[in-house]
Amino acid sequence: MNGSKLTSRLFLGVVAGLALVASGCGASGGSGGSPPPSGPSSWPGPGETVWASGVTSVTLVTESGGDTIAPPAGSTCGDNGSAAERFELDVATRVLTSHLCTSASSGAPWHWVDRTQTLSAADADALVKDLKAVTVATTCGTCSAVATPNTVTLQVAGEARTYSDDDFCTCKARGATPPFANHLLPAFTEARKLAYQ
């Protein structure tokens, strides 16, 4: 995997996340008012972790990996709108399946690549730790400037539980649907780092 591309994409992802935090997006002290919808009564409530006993898999979907620069000529991804990067972790087997926008070498066009890898116990634990830190939103963050929301979906006892980034609960017209969750960025950053290693 191209080292400079990985470094660039990780850096851009962190910068984008810091920009959201600086603007008030994703913070618990968002726009106030009544708490946003938190899902069916059997799901975790506001302020609780989205993680639950019996989680079999987790899927993270993010809009084009957070790129803020134009991709090289001939690229088929990376234009913040072509499609979404996707990371799916099978909890029992530690298999991480990824749909990535990457390049074969520095300066080469970016294309979609599908990868499947078995994570070490330590790497899987690090990702799960970040996933357990994701909590059901108690208030709405400021409406994000990003086009579409990041989402996390947990499979629990055969039921799919999908949460959208809380930065979108004040601008649902962009396609975001409740329930919403806080603290998604670290999980996305860790999944992307593992997928590109």
What pTM was computed for the model?
A: 0.73
Regions of the chain with pLDDT less than 50: 3-34, 64-67, 81, 173
Residue 29 is predicted with a pLDDT of 36
Residue-wise pLDDT for 52-108, tens only, equals 989 999 999 986 444 456 788 888 887 654 557 899 999 999 999 999 888 888 888
Number of structural domains in the chain: 1
Residue 105 is predicted with a pLDDT of 84
Residue 38 is predicted with a pLDDT of 57
DSSP the chain: --HHHHHHHHHHHHHHHHHHHHTTTT-TTSS-SSPPP--STTS--TTSBS--TTEEEEEEEEEGGG--SPPPTT-SS-SSSS-EEEEEEETTTTEEEEEEEEESSTTSPEEEEEEEEEPPHHHHHHHHHHHHT-EE-SSPPPPPSSSS--EEEEEETTEEEEEEEGGGTT-GGGS--S-EEE--HHHHHHHHHHHH-
Domain coverage including residue 179 = 3-196
Residue 59 is predicted with a pLDDT of 96
Residue 196 is predicted with a pLDDT of 83
Residue 164 is predicted with a pLDDT of 84
